Amino acid sequence: MAAITRNNYEQFFIDYYDGNLSAQKVAELREFLRKNPDLQAEFEWFSNIKLKPLDKTQVPDFSFLKKKIDQVPFAEENADELVISLLEGDYPEEKRAQLWQWIQEQPKAFQTYERLKKAKLNTAVESLEKSVFYQIPDFENDAIDTDNEQWFAIAAMEGDLSENSLRKYHKWLNVHVEYQFDFLSTRLLPDTKIVYPRREELKRKPAAKIHLLTFTTTVAASLLIMLLVYRFLNDQNLNTTNNKLSTGTAERIEILASSKVEETHEKQILESPVATTVSSKPIQKRRGAKIATLQPRNFTIEIETIAEKSINLTTLPITHTLAVYQEPEPQIIKTEEGEVPNSGFWARTINFVSEAAKKNFGNKIPKDKFKFDYKLNDQRQIVYFAIETPVFAIERKK
């Protein structure tokens, strides 16, 4: 046994008063108390809580607390307990029929019954059901008496009796005329005055037949609408972008350069200064509408819009040389503002486009927004070029 310390002294106090300590431990305890006088009062207090065994005659009878199964209320939460007691034969016999009636009317209880009865021997259950639950006589074999005559009467009315049983019942009834009762009088007749007032609302209409032509037309129309919506939304997006860059009214325009330069005239064209003018036509409100044409002899630049909204494209009185479009060599561009030094075709083209942009878009297009692309053939001739800005684009293929 452990030594007595200030951490465990309580159990030794209790053992002392219960007489469970050895003489040695008692001496040890007294020594402990002498060294710890502050615990003396607590030691004495423990003497008051010593338990004495109860006299058996003083123990109250709690048997009344025991639950009797027939006192368990017929409730869903007690279904299992009640069903088990019935199947086990624990339920008082005189109340079984009442319990069985309740079980039949409670789906949960009946499910429990069906489940549990599988665990019992079939013969036991059948016997139980026959004797207690159903209370329907065996019409073929049972004798008719005043206790079961009503069952026979109902069975006769319902057509549940065999010919033999029916004969037996009529024979009995002839003797016991006072029991004659026509159970047909208990048959309910439908109350035909009650009709469902919303019957028509319940009905369904046949689905409309769709002809192939109608179907095709509908699909085509749907696709067309979708296309228009897509274009509208697409243009809306472009408008938003371009409005940030242009003066406000301008939308995206696309300048397409298409050239019909003949090979034989190329040199001549190259060295011929050409005055070009962009006419002041209002932009057509449709995508790809040609709004201006530049015709330096055999060279044509078409300016087109892809925007829905028009811009007021004023005249571009640009006079410059387009002759060097083939070679990116330094040239001089003549404009109304004078000669502009040019390092080559691209610079001039850029200059041309920039001039157009300045005129039409208030010089809003920064240089870094111009994107260029070109391709050279084996003779270092340009066969393709393209310029793209946030507002318009120019492209030429040879």
Residues binding other proteins (CB under 8 A): 101, 104-105, 107, 110, 129, 133-136, 150-151, 154-155, 157-158, 160, 181, 183, 185-191, 194-199, 201-207
Q: How far is the CB of 138 from other proteins (least distance, A)?
A: 12
Q: Is 288 left (phi over 0), alpha (psi -120 to 50) or beta?
A: left
Q: What is the distance between the terminal CA atoms of the chain, rounded to a whole angstrom?
A: 112
Q: How far is the CB of 134 from other proteins (least distance, A)?
A: 5
> One-letter amino acid identity for 47?
S
Q: How far is the CB of 200 from other proteins (least distance, A)?
A: 8
Q: Which is nearer to other proteins, 191 or 263 (CB)?
A: 191
**Among all chains, which residue has been given the structure tokens 């039949």?**
104
Q: How far is the CB of 98 from other proteins (least distance, A)?
A: 10
Strands 289-294, 371-376: pairing kind: unpaired
Q: Which is nearer to other proteins, 56 or 198 (CB)?
A: 198
Q: Which is nearer to other proteins, 199 or 380 (CB)?
A: 199
Q: Which is nearer to other proteins, 183 or 372 (CB)?
A: 183
Q: How far is the CB of 238 from other proteins (least distance, A)?
A: 48
Q: Which is nearer to other proteins, 11 or 135 (CB)?
A: 135
The strand ranges marked E within the chain are: 253-259, 274-275, 289-294, 299-305, 319-320, 331-335, 338-342, 371-376, 382-388, 393-397
Gap between the Cα atoms of 353 and 385, Å rounded = 13
Gap between the Cα atoms of 314 and 366, Å rounded = 20
Gap between the Cα atoms of 227 and 286, Å rounded = 15
Gap between the Cα atoms of 248 and 362, Å rounded = 10
Q: Which is nearer to other proteins, 98 or 222 (CB)?
A: 98
Q: How far is the CB of 202 from other proteins (least distance, A)?
A: 5
Q: Which is nearer to other proteins, 160 or 327 (CB)?
A: 160
DSSP string, 231-280: HHHHHHHHHHHHHHHSSSS---EEEEEEE---GGGHHHHHT--EE--B--
DSSP string, 272-324: --EE--B--PPPPSSTTEEEEEE-STTEEEEEEE--SS------B--EE--TT
Q: How far is the CB of 159 from other proteins (least distance, A)?
A: 10
